[in-house]
């Protein structure tokens, strides 16, 4: 390689890799393409054809809950591969048009040259949850670009003018797709049970507690929001309270999806249910129950139940405790005896 070309390449690399984010840079491009980043893996990726003096602005979609980065899959023409490192790609922030000369103006946060390869995968992290690590088969941008305007601006540039005639008309094929975090979102909704529709045999007015409860997801207490990102697979949630019954739920989280879990908090008051023949007459603490085919709220403490079918009568006493459910069954059986 001739000495002047070595010097030119050295200056190119110094310009590419020295920090420049603190300085606003003016530049021009031949064409700017604007695309919208798909929000999940179910949608197709976006494919564009870009010249070596073009730029692309990647707009974020409305649903970016699970997107933690961007993958650029570039197909490089043989002529650009042979001329490497003749073409660079750069990420700019706060890009806008200069009103005086109609050039673009922005802060370059990262830049690198395209290596002598026929294909190149570039990963741009958008959050700390970005799962892709450094690899000899791809390039991971070593920073999280500023995206306050809801987009990423990428500029391609011919940095070795000596190779311009060979590669000026060549185009890069770029496939753009989202990188999803390796988690899903649990949306947990909790509400007290509506006791208005539950019949009651209570004589003592209910003393309501504070109504507070504590949520644990995978044995870790959940603070603040009831939306939490979790790894793929099976999880469990438990709700512990002095005012309601403790609840436990098992659920599955899928990557890039929201799992909605609704938990109705049941009263801590004891309940009572009867399983008896339809013509049974039932007396609870001396009062007749007209329709026993329901679940009743009862007071905690001692109770007496009398059940009568025709001339057959049985009385049972029990002690009800908070947080417990009781079922009283009356079985009328028949025995067959065979004799010689």
Compute the Cα dihedral for 187, 191, 197, 201 and give only its sign. Answer: positive
Per the model's pLDDT, the better-predicted residue between 135 and 90 turns out to be 90
- Which contiguous run of DSSP H or E holds residue 192? strand 183-192
* Chain centroid offset of residue 96 CA: 33
Q: Report CA torsion sign: 310, 315, 321, 326.
A: negative
Quick check: 193 pLDDT over 50? yes
Residues near 277 by beta carbon (within 8 Å), at least 6 away in sequence:
309, 330, 332
Cα distance between residue 60 and residue 149, in whole Å: 9
What mean pLDDT is predicted for residues 122-149? Answer: 90
Confidence class for position 161, pLDDT limits 50, 70, 90: confident
Average pLDDT, the chain: 86
More confident residue, 150 or 340: 150
Say if pTM beats, i.e. exceeds, 0.85: no
Q: Among residues 76, 33, 93, 26, which one has the least CA distance to residue 58?
A: 33
Residue 7: its pLDDT value, please? Answer: 45
pLDDT score, position 4: 41
The partner residues of 51 in beta bridges, in order of sequence, read 171
Q: Evaluate if residue 17 carries a pLDDT over 60.
A: no
> Phi, psi (5° rounding) for residue 194?
-80, 105
pLDDT value, residue 280: 92
Check if the beta carbon of residue 273 is closer than 8 Å to that of residue 326: yes
Residue 74: is its pLDDT beyond 60?
yes
Instruction: Pick the more confident residue, 114 or 162.
Output: 114
Distance of alpha carbon 201 from alpha carbon 310, whole angstroms: 24
């Amino acid at each position: 390689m001739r000495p002047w070309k070595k010097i030119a390449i050295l200056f190119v690399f110094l310009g590419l890799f020295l920090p420049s984010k603190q300085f606003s840079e003016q530049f021009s491009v031949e064409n700017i393409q604007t695309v919208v980043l798909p929000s999940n893996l179910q949608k197709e990726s976006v494919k564009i054809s870009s010249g070596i003096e073009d730029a692309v602005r990647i707009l974020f979609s409305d649903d970016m809950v699970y997107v933690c980065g961007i993958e650029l899959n570039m197909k490089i023409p043989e002529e650009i591969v042979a001329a490497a490192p003749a073409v660079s790609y750069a990420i700019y922030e706060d890009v806008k048009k200069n009103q005086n000369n109609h050039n673009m103006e922005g802060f370059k946060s990262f830049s690198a040259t395209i290596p002598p390869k026929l294909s190149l995968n570039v990963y741009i992290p958008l959050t700390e949850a970005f799962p892709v690590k450094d690899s000899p088969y791809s390039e991971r941008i070593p920073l999280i670009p500023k995206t306050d305007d809801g987009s990423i601006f990428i500029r391609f540039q011919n940095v070795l003018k000596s190779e311009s005639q060979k590669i000026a008309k060549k185009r890069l094929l770029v496939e753009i797709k989202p990188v999803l975090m390796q988690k899903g979102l649990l949306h947990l909704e909790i509400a007290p049970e509506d006791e208005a529709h539950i019949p009651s045999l209570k004589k003592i007015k209910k003393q309501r507690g504070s109504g507070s409860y504590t949520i644990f997801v995978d044995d870790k207490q959940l603070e603040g929001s009831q939306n939490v990102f979790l790894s793929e697979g099976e999880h469990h949630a438990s709700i512990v309270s002095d005012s309601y019954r403790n609840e436990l739920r098992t659920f599955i989280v899928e990557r890039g999806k929201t799992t909605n879990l609704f938990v109705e908090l049941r009263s801590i008051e004891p309940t009572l249910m009867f399983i008896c023949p339809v013509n049974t007459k039932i007396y609870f603490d001396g009062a007749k129950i007209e329709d026993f085919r329901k679940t009743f709220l009862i007071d905690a403490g001692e109770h007496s139940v009398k059940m009568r079918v025709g001339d057959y009568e049985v009385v049972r006493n029990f002690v009800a405790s908070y947080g417990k459910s009781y079922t009283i069954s009356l079985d009328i059986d028949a025995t067959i005896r065979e004799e010689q």
